[in-house]
Amino acid sequence: MAGTLQKNDYAKIREIWPLFPAALYLLGFFIIVFFYLFVLSFSATSIDGEVFPTLHTIRGILQARVFWDALLNTVAFTIIGTPIELIVGLILALILYRNFLARGIIRGIFLIPLAIPALVTAIMLYILFDYPGGHINHLLMGKYALFPAIVHDPINWRGSKMLALGMSLIGKVWRDMPISMLIILAGLNAIDTELFDAARTMGAGWRQQLLRIVVPLIIPSLSAVVLLRSIEMWKEFIFPFVLAGRYSLLGTLIEQYYNNWGNINSAAVVAMVLVLCIIITTLIVLAFAEALKRIVTN
């Protein structure tokens, strides 16, 4: 028995051994970056030069209104955007899971957002929602044929925090929803079709099949979508940078501290906060997914 277990252990080691160099590279890179962020966060520039260790920079960030505004904006961006990407990905995956004419063409159309660079998508939205002469304003003001006027004055889309971050969220969801769709679709394709045949013979309708078969079996895929999309939402940069302007998220605030204000220590502190938020979110999502899996299996 011991010999069998030992052979199995050796077999598992041989299976994961090719992944070791990549894991070592990623871990080493993370340790180096985190170390430098830690040193810069606990450093400050004074008349006498660089001071380490000190809490001066951290205290300054915690007392800055711009930091708390960016943190709240990022929390709202993540909390709202992650479920939207999950729901949109699930709906599209369920559509493509069914057999119908030209399903391959429709799947290709759904993947188009991935082929367009995020910066290009952000600029397209910038042009569409420009003030005062953007196409959306022209459409709402009835300047195009066959469309009635809805508003009399153009809307300054980037002049309001809710509208500016809403545009950023629309662009982010549209750009990344194919990833959520593909992950969930892979989980759907892994379900044994005999389960649906057995459920139909027992009189289960489509809704019962969805709730009793599909959702429990794709929980790993749903968990992966929530985990990956929440991380992406936390560290989003391009869309709020182009569309939201002065309404910062943590990612854009780092750029402002580093490039616009030349304060590398404050930028490092914000980056450390962003990393900690991502780690905490990851632990919460994994714990929730594990608890949900236990509930379903029991």
According to DSSP, residue 160 is labeled S
Q: What number of other Cβ atoms are within 10 A of residue 154's Cβ?
A: 16
What's the average model confidence in pLDDT over 120-138?
89
Reading the block at residue 1, the tokens are 């028995």
Q: The domain that contains 266 carries what CATH number?
A: 1.10.3720.10
Whose CA is closest to 227, among 269, 190, 179?
179
Assess if residue 273 is contained within a domain.
yes
Assess if residue 32 is contained within a domain.
no
| Range of the structural domain that residue 93 is part of | 65-297
3-state class (DSSP) for residue 46: strand
Q: Assess whether pLDDT exceeds 70 at residue 2.
A: no
Assess if residue 74 is contained within a domain.
yes
Q: Which of 1-10, 14-23, 191-200 has the lowest mean pLDDT?
A: 1-10
Assess if residue 112 is contained within a domain.
yes
CA pair distance 180, 68, nearest whole angstrom: 30
pLDDT per position as a tens digit, 19-61: 778 888 888 888 888 888 898 889 887 766 678 888 889 999 9
Assess if residue 13 is contained within a domain.
no
Instruction: Say if CB 266 and CB 60 are below 8 A apart.
Output: yes
Assess if residue 27 is contained within a domain.
no
Q: Assess whether pLDDT exceeds 90 at residue 197.
A: no
Reading the block at residue 168, the tokens are 């950023």
Average model confidence (pLDDT) across the chain: 86
Q: Assess whether pLDDT exceeds 80 at residue 193.
A: no
CA pair distance 31, 263, nearest whole angstrom: 23
Q: Which pLDDT belongs to residue 65?
A: 94
Assess if residue 45 is contained within a domain.
no
Q: Assess whether pLDDT exceeds 90 at residue 69.
A: yes
Q: Assess whether pLDDT exceeds 60 at residue 273.
A: yes
Assess if residue 42 is contained within a domain.
no
| Total tally of structural domains belonging to the chain | 1
Q: Which pLDDT belongs to residue 296?
A: 67
- Percent of the chain at pLDDT exceeding 90: 43
